[in-house]
A and B are shown apart, each in its own frame.
Chain A
Amino acid sequence: MIENFSFLSAIILLPFVGMLFTLFSREDADGNSRNAFNVAFLSVCANLLLVLRIFSNMDLQENGLQLVERFNWLENPNIDIILGADTFSIVMIMSVHFSFLIGMFGARESQHLKSMMIFALIFLGMLTGFFLSADIFSFYIFFEAMLFPLFMLIGIFGDIRRDGIIYRFFLYNFFGAVLLFLAVIMLFNLHDGFLDIHKYDTLKHQSSLGIFVLLAIFISCLSRIPIWPFHYWISSISANIRSPLVFILTNLLPLTGLYGFMRFLPNNFHSSLVYGVTILEIIAVITMIFIALIGFINRDVQYKLFSYITVYYIMYLLSIINEDGLSIMNVAFSCFAFIIIISVLEILSGYLHLEQENKGLSPDGILCSAPRISFIYSFFILAAMGLPVSSLFVNNFLIVSQLIEENLQIGLIVVFSLTLTAGSLLKDYYRLKDRNHTSPNKPCIEDISLWRYAFGLIMILILLYSSIKPLWFLGA
């Protein structure tokens, strides 16, 4: 019976079921939404277990889609919804679930916790569905539908400038949505009811319409990646949202762009696309340096994190563009560590920000009196620097080697940008640790609780172990 169980549909649906339970959960007498949090937490944990179960059903040596599930949606025109997974997509889903769990720990004390959990679970379900979509329609639907919960989250948890942020968010994503919609319709009509994304590479893109379709898909994917000029909406959200979970979810969105690129980028470019790819590479490296430099001078830790995230996403994009058949899994393993690192750094900086606000402190020297948070923070900063304490090190090494092999200048610019963003995070960390700004009379922040500390230590162990066993959860 277990063989016939639709695991992929289940991991898409479970967050929605969790969302329904969260929706109907009762609040405490004093208005706390602890029940909602617990239900959401359990849903994500259950889903994570299901994801692990899926892994045990997969053959990791096989490259193609596995565990395919097909549902007929429309008879005329004949449209099927196809779900399928490969190792890359499941590693992405794992990463997203981990970061979601980490983000939940940061959001535990938030106001409007129930609404946050509801929309966050919808987003998680959509994102999971996106990574499992194997046909162009479900790809499009999940690609666009995940914006709705994010839109709501930004609207509810944004700061006083939320109108401007939502405007930018809508504008950029609307642009991408229209293009992707056109591309999907044209793809379906031009190629006689084409559906399966994984067979996209077999299509011929010689006609100008075919090239337009490809460009439309790429531009819509680019609108999700913080590459110039699309970086602006994500940077606005990152700099103006103080809720760690919303920050984390927003910064997971570029993964969808990368995934789109990975799925649709043909192995052999049409000659007219080669120039486009070169231009894209140039824009990418310029954006990388540009954002890294701005992150270096900016004093806002959220922006520094954003610049760090941007540099990594662009590095992954460059790696996917220059993919040689082997580097995709390096991107996945690096991404796994990267997402955990940024999520933990974000919840820690969110916690510090909250403490600062509550006690009216300046950030300088704030970590001196909190050894637990200081240790966790320092470890994750070291990991973020790319030192060999996580799978970032070896996988970044392979990605950078691959980029250098393709183009030395690009490879060196990537290394320079990585150094600059790591330096900017370090600069911020040492500002928080600067003992010269502390005095005995100054109030101190409260250190993180023991169970949060334990959670941080578990994350450290996962990172350390994943550096030598990237698929540790399988023993593979």
Chain B
Amino acid sequence: MISGLFILSLLSGFSGAILSRERYARFVSFLIATISLALLCNLFQNMQDGFAQPAIWSLLDYKQIHINLNLSSNAHNYSVLFPFLIMTFLSLLYTYFVPKEERRGRLSSLMLVSSAFLMLPICSDNFVVLVVGSSLCGISGIYIINDFSGKKNYVFYTLVADMSLFAAMGIIYSSTSNTDLDTLSYYAQTNQHTELTSLLLLLGIGIKSGLFLFHNQIFSYANLKFNRLIFMNYCVAPACGLVIFSKTAVLLSPNHIGGSILLILSFCSILYGVIGGLIYDNLKEKALCLNMLLWGFFFAVSILFPIINFSIFSWIFVLFFLINLWIAMVSQSCSEEIYISRLGGTWKKLPQLLLIAPILTVALSQQILTQVDSCGWLGWGLIVILLVIIPYLMHQIFLGRCECDEMVWAFMHSPSLFLLFPLYALPLFLIFQYQFSWELVIIFAIVILLTLINPLQVLSNLYERDDIQLSDFFERFYEVVLLAPLSILGRVLWLTVDFLLIERTILSSILHFRNILINFSAQMHSCQLIGYLLTIGLGLGIILILGVIY
């Protein structure tokens, strides 16, 4: 049951993180991966058996608010959780094998903790736990990122996302006095700041998922190793974004302004993902663009064809995850080379990796075709996009002229069978499990054909363009549009209000007035004529004032 999985993951994750020493890092990593596999098997078994059990605990009991922690086992929760647990296990497996990983045991433990926290929003039935779970998952992400600038970006974006979700939930609670997610459909009809709420939700979900305009933080993962990058992309913040969206979708329908903007951002993300996937030289950035494309696709489909059933996307997520893993293995096999322009002609040394991409494309296309009624024309669109990007990548990695460094070429090796197994097994299992159609054969043929022809060869010239490859337009954009005005305003206020008004005007005047009073009383007490006159004048003044009053 899910509550048991949650507790076990949390306990083993925290124990691993606390007890892990560098000496036993590999062992801890292996242990955590094994535990994760056991948990996955348990979940799968329960899912197959249709095991259902309520598990609700009182988390907080105030006079005005009761918050329950719901970790009930049911078919819906299983179906949402299942792909994330598969991806967690694969990430752990990859983490165990990846060479020169820093503090491997601690990383694996944190990954397991993160996946435990992800169960909270997935199973939540009230929005406080939804936000708490996604925040906790986000916090675990902070410790998974081991790059300074990436971490910094991530924390700032997480702060803004969490605060916007916090404000959105505050508005909803102030209107409904209820934290149940079921009340959202009622709230959506009340017209009490619903547009504002949908905008705040959009901000929170957009940032967590790294949609266009908020993708900066996701791109700062490019400095991480592939295993961290992929896990962060699929099992931490974007996963929380998707879950939050699926639970609050009623406020993000196209009828609400937030929903409309989210739709636009989703299409922009797809576009950015396609363009970035083609023009970026860095393999990690290419992977990130593919992910952006996927999240854009998910949101666009969910808004345009609102059948909010997470399970239809489950295998699509897992297969995209495998594409990321495939890119990671290519890089790892080539001595961690991350620039695609420095690869090429590697098919002789990496034939096992060559076949994975077309199989993954076929499996993905099959999944999309299976769900084409739910996805509509967007499904066909995604297949076309995949047929553009994957062959382009394959050609540049495996075919064409070899641009590899001599050392890279010399050390080039195929990844271990342990790692290759899931990459082959999972898509092949899916292909044979689901209906095999003639379209899939055509798609396979097109992938091979386009890989050989490479009609987009001309785009590889863009790899030389530093203005494209090193562009940080959005970072500068936010600095100029958001941070600079805040800083200027703060400085101006400080100078005018604190310094000029209070220090130099009010306090200074009081100080001078005090000096005048001291001088005045000193004069009064001096044995001179002016002193007598002042004393008499003061006395008369007091008599006059009292006379007027009474």
Contacts and interface: CB of A to CB of B under 8 A. Distances in A.
B170 A232 contact: no
Contacts of A232: 498, 502-503, 507
Given A296-B487, A387-B139, A404-B171, A394 B498 contact: no
A436 B148 contact: yes
A365 to B, nearest CB: 10
B136 A388 contact: yes
B20 interface: no
Given A411-B174, A433-B148, A294 B163 contact: no
B166 interface: yes
Nearest to A412: B167
A168 interface: yes
A397 B493 contact: no
A396 B163 CA distance: 11
Given A397-B166, A415-B166, A422-B159, A387 B173 contact: no
A307 B510 CA distance: 26
Given A419-B159, A423-B159, A411 B494 contact: no
A167 B175 CA distance: 48
Contacts of A423: 156, 159
Interface in A432-452: 433-436
Contacts of B167: 400, 411-412, 415
Interface stretch (B59-67, B80-88, B318-326, B457-465): B59-67
Contacts of B540: none
B493 A290 contact: yes
B512 interface: no
B169 interface: yes
Contact of A435 (B135, B148, B502, B503): B148
B507 A426 contact: no
Interface in B498-550: 498, 502-503, 506-507, 510-511
A293 B483 CA distance: 11
A212 B536 CA distance: 33
B60 A400 contact: no
A436 B494 CA distance: 30
Contacts of B486: 293, 296-297, 420
A171 B510 contact: yes
A296 B136 contact: no
B67 to A, nearest CB: 7
Contact of A394 (B63, B67, B160, B193): B67
B359 to A, nearest CB: 42
A434 B148 contact: yes
| Secondary structure class of chain A's binding surface, majority of residues | helix
Contacts of B510: 171
A63 to B, nearest CB: 11
Contact of B491 (A235, A297, A419): A297
Contact of A389 (B60, B64, B139): B139
A326 interface: yes
Interface residues of B, number: 48
A436 B223 CA distance: 15
B487 A297 contact: yes
A394 B170 contact: no
A168 to B, nearest CB: 7
A329 B173 CA distance: 18
Interface string A389-406: 100011011101110110
Contact of B507 (A168, A326, A400): A168
Contacts of A435: 148
Interface residues of A, number: 50
B372 interface: no
A159 to B, nearest CB: 17
Contacts of B193: 408
Interface string B341-384: 00000000000000000000000000000000000000000000
Nearest to B193: A408
Contacts of B152: 430
A434 B131 CA distance: 30
A468 interface: yes
Contacts of A298: 490, 494
Contact of A418 (B148, B163, B196, B511): B163
A386 interface: yes
A11 B87 CA distance: 57
A64 interface: no
Nearest to B134: A388
Given A408-B193, A415-B167, A468 B139 contact: no
B162 interface: yes
A219 interface: no
B446 interface: no
Given A232-B498, A404-B170, A426 B156 contact: yes
Contacts of B430: none
B208 to A, nearest CB: 14
B132 interface: yes
B157 to A, nearest CB: 11
B449 interface: no
Interface in B480-495: 486-487, 489-491, 493-494
B207 to A, nearest CB: 12
Interface in A364-397: 378, 382, 385-389, 393-394, 396-397
Given A297-B490, A297-B494, A393-B132, A468 B59 contact: yes
B162 A387 contact: yes
Contacts of B135: 387-388, 393
B65 A398 contact: yes
A420 B159 CA distance: 10
A330 B170 CA distance: 14
Nearest to B169: A397
Contacts of B196: 408
B490 A294 contact: yes
A433 B163 CA distance: 24
A408 B171 contact: yes
A229 interface: yes
A429 to B, nearest CB: 9
Given A401-B173, A405-B174, A468-B60, A426 B160 contact: no
A472 to B, nearest CB: 12
A348 B59 CA distance: 32
B506 A294 contact: no
Contacts of B328: none
B481 to A, nearest CB: 16
A394 B169 CA distance: 11
B155 interface: yes
B128 interface: yes
A421 B541 CA distance: 52
Interface string A140-158: 0000000000000000000
A386 B166 contact: yes
Interface string B169-210: 111011100000000000000000100100000000000000
Contacts of A408: 171, 193, 196
Contacts of A329: 62-63
Interface string B21-61: 00000000000000000000000000000000000000110
B468 interface: no
Given A294-B493, A398-B65, A386 B174 contact: no
A35 B445 CA distance: 85
Interface string A289-304: 0100111111000000
B128 A386 contact: no
Nearest to B58: A468
A401 B174 contact: yes
Given A232-B502, A415-B167, A397 B128 contact: yes
11 contacts: A232-B502, A293-B493, A386-B163, A387-B135, A387-B139, A387-B162, A393-B132, A394-B62, A401-B171, A423-B156, A435-B148
Query: 4 shortest A-B CB distances, which residue pairs?
Result: A293-B490, A297-B490, A405-B174, A404-B174
Given A232-B507, A400-B170, 20 more contacts: A232-B502, A235-B498, A290-B493, A293-B486, A294-B490, A297-B486, A330-B62, A393-B135, A398-B65, A401-B174, A402-B174, A404-B171, A405-B175, A408-B196, A420-B486, A422-B163, A423-B159, A426-B156, A434-B148, A468-B59
